[in-house]
Structure 1
């Protein structure tokens, strides 16, 4: 026997019930308004603090980068003189004095300077200080010199606060010795015009770097008080901004709390009393004629509308287009409407005597009963909508959509209202539209991706029709090409054509687009002002489901700066900075190519090692500027004395190497060497003084049939050059393998014959 057998409550014997309203302890609207004001002001303060701290870190980072770059310059100067010392051009004392004088004279940012101290510990000594020369040569352990407050080993190491503080120059020496280079913060007087300094000490950031050849530590610093001044100004502006926003906001919140929240509080209290039964249902008092009064008046009208809607609901249920069932948590049917009988083929009496199991095709009916049973403990799960299938009296099955709700106010146990809709036609329509929906989804996904790229990409974006007509461009396109959007629309990409790519290039591009649907590569285009720029371009075709091209999307990035920077780096890496001649790296490359070519053609190849005679005397007598002019002038003359395909490179100092390729015979090579000798002896005028040197040249030949490599040829030419110097200078000496002397560490197997 089914539970509550014989009980049938009509679907239409219902009554209107206003759900009870419970009021839990929670923040009032007034409290929420003040909380929002406070949270907004706190958020504004927090954002200001974060922005100020971020700006301070940026400014300090720029300071650190600048002072490091400048110390690297001073370090390179010391390295330059140390290199002259190693070559023997200067004595150690002369090289160190020259380096100190040069660095002492260097200034930047008006009064900023460089100093040098040694690396001896525990007490270092001052080598050179331009604004405090009295410290030169003195031990740097005096407390009056100040203390370091923090240090950082290297450029990426952690910053360490020194507790207790460490003596300034001891800390500087520790950083240079332990990390090779790093940063120090401390306080130091500012230099004044002349040799005076301020009595007040200012915060300062310094960078030091060890110079190992001479045991030096080279450093420079930048004062930080200007950074603090900028930050203080930012703090003042932020405070005024917060005050300017906060005061009007507080006044507005106070007005809202007094004029708007008060009437709402009184009305809500009256409504709570009505719902709790402490006073009868009655219209609320309308205290004002604004929006709040309209709200209260609307609630009063709602009570009247509820009574009217109850009568209409009874009529709607009877004439509803869906089948309606009332059943208990065990599935027994207690009431149905007429549509339920028409939908299933069962009479009303047959349905009232049955369970939902009669209709539902669900294989696990007990799980449905369990789901209905949790309605009392988990009411938030209802109403719910599910799809299932029902079986008619004739055995046919049809798909349904069921919306299940808990029937309120029932004193006979839990009841459920199930509204069942036959969705056979909808399912058929869904099946018919499924393929089209999937196709549209794929197209929409592509369009959304393109729209996102178009809106947010920093690259230039251009959308064209299949015939190439420009349909749209983004702001990055305008920035890169200097064409406005209106100027570009309606044109084709030929608007940007530079003429650097041949017609075949564009034909290959279009063939790739038509066959593969995409193309990418580097292109040279022309801006509106006529200037050329290089871009990294990617073009993709957006296709219709049937394969037809809908439009093309081109994304490009201006890489002109990268191209120029790459060319500059390649030049610096392969050419001598002073003379513009190939350096040792490019010489090695060209010499290997020349040897390969000589072996392939069966022709002789000559390598001439050139060392200038008397160059050091010019440097010592007339200075380095004269020496530099002499080197650049002789390099230009020697280059002009050779043929177009020959190479002359500078190894460093006054040493050069010439590679003479494509020689028909050795006599032609010696003729070119004679030209080099003549070019080296020509007079160079500097500041009214005639400068003249000569050259000692060693020549080594790579002849057909031998397997000499580049290093061996250079060593042979080097040995021949030293024998030319020993033979009296201003001459050329040819290396010969049959008269080897093997002298010294610079010699190779063989000797030289004089020319």
Structure 2
């Protein structure tokens, strides 16, 4: 009977344990399939991103993966055979989570389809894919968490069944004695303990039952199931970390727009090239990875150099290296590359991974900088570089040649070290205002050399700005124009002043007359024009000679200048004819005091060497705007008034009136400019 009881007890135990095994296997298979469904979602995302980044990578496998995902979903929902596993439908309590997975999958698949149709630079489509992918991953993991919880509940139910069987076993063992207790109860207790450990997630727990009977086989099956679940969880965790790392790396590579990234195998063939590298070299990524030889990119000596460096790395002489080389683009143009390489192992084979940077513009800038440095050091024009506040940062040799100051003497000081004191604060304030407003200024400045000698420099200042708009530095270029300005001043003086008397000549007089008319028109203040002719000058010139006449003209010029204000103008038209512009007078009668003073001054004796002579003057005046609107009309009116004075007996002054007759045919009227 004990044997029968033991047999019955064994049959009952085996049945329950087999049920537990089936439920455990079903749970493990369901978890396995759910994990594969999660990995399918990630793989679909990655392949969609790759196909979006490079249309050449698009593959029909994406649709196959999508179909597999939906097949897994149906198997989980209804039960079935998938991935060589028979799985039951998920418990009714997990139906909402499975439905959430399906809704997230529909949104994600829509994002995959939208991304395939979107342009390569559509960041919104990529963002949507990443968002729906994350949502799908979240709901999938929630489903897996629910399956784990259900497995625990199932194990708990099995545990309760084991407890019930244990009570029955106690009754039977009470009857069967120590044989049943020894052969059945103790193994069952061990199995129960293992089930408890499994129920709380301790999948490392193992049964110690010896093989050979049903309980031993059950223990081994439980051990195998626990080991299988434990390994599955580890694999899922590793795959999740690997997928996250791969996704992060792929995103970083896809977002890179600066460096070309490549991988070379031992045969010097590209096995990977990113979009930036393809863009730099003018090839597509498919062309680069599809077997493009290295000598198509590097030609001649550049190829030999690059080949030698790459082979050195593969042979182990150099694990990492950096060098520069000239490369040939697909269109034949040449660019300069900076290459970094490092040796690694990929699938058990040595592989060179590296970066390429297009440094063509940098090389051009360096060459330009070298040429600029040569110009800076060898030009005859002085150059100075200051900071935003005018503190000297650098000078060239020509600066020292012009100013006498060396770099050690002026660097760190302001340009005021050259100040001559000839310019006031207003001058420098206006200069800085112009620099701040436009960044440029040019003009003449009177400065002082180290020796104390003043000189005139022609200075041009330009401003260099930083990327944020702040001032980087200011560059001044100047040359010594002292002699040039002296020559220009001398030429201008000769062109505008009478050589004998140093009074303004006819040309300068006419320019001033026109300017006075314009100023009177705009300002409303009239002025007077006086025409003066010396009496008896011809007699002095004929009697005492031309040298005496010239001396007399110089003395007359001096007395005339002393009789008028500094704002007035005295000019010599030629011979013994002089003109005066008397500015800012309100009435023609205001000219009489000036005329009387001049007549009185000129009537005084002139000492010409050891001789003394007396002369007088005839003066006529016209008043602007009363007596003429143009310079010609005004000069003609003053000339008529002068002749009217001369006809009255000389040493007289007359103001023009409309009744004065025109000059005789034998006398030329004064010419206007």
Structure with the higher fraction of residues in helix conformation: 2
Using structure 1 for the length normalisation, give the TM-score.
0.40
Instruction: Choose between structure 1 and 2: higher strand proportion.
Output: 1
Bigger CA radius of gyration: 2
TM-score (norm: length of structure 2): 0.44
